[in-house]
Amino acid sequence: MTPLRALMIKQMEVDRLAPKTQQAYLNAVRGIARFYQRSPDQLDNKEIESYIHHLLTERKLAWSSVNVAVNALAFLYVKTLGWDRPKLKLPRCRKRLRLPEILSAEELERLFAAPTHPKHRALLMTTYAGGLRVSETVHLKLVNIDSQRMVIRIEQAKGAKDRYTMLSSRLLEELRRYWRACQPTSWLFPGRDHERPMNVSTAQRVYTRAKRQAGIVRGPGIHTLRHSFATHLLETGVDLRTIQSLLGHTSLNTTMRYLKVDRTRVLATASPLDLIGVLKETPTT
Among this protein's residues, is 120 annotated catalytic? no
Among this protein's residues, is 36 annotated catalytic? no
**Active-site residue identified among 54, 110, 223, 257:** 223
**Active-site residue identified among 153, 158, 163, 257:** 158
What is the enclosing helix (H) or strand (E) of 125? Answer: helix 118-130
Among this protein's residues, is 232 annotated catalytic? no
Half-sphere exposure of 116 toward its Cβ, with a 13 Å CA cutoff? 1
**Active-site residue identified among 133, 211, 227, 232:** 133
**Active-site residue identified among 120, 121, 139, 226:** 226
Among this protein's residues, is 249 annotated catalytic? yes
- CB within 8 Å of 160: residues ≥ 6 apart: 16
Question: If DSSP codes are grouped into helix, strand and coil, which group holds residue 264?
Answer: helix
DSSP assigned state of 87:
G
Half-sphere exposure of 168 toward its Cβ, with a 13 Å CA cutoff? 12
- CB within 8 Å of 52: residues ≥ 6 apart: 66, 69, 70, 73, 90, 91
- Nearest by Cα to 122 from 170, 186, 194, 191: 170
Among this protein's residues, is 110 annotated catalytic? no
**Active-site residue identified among 51, 128, 178, 258:** 258
Among this protein's residues, is 258 annotated catalytic? yes
What is the enclosing helix (H) or strand (E) of 13? Answer: helix 3-14
Report the catalytic residues.
133, 158, 223, 226, 249, 258
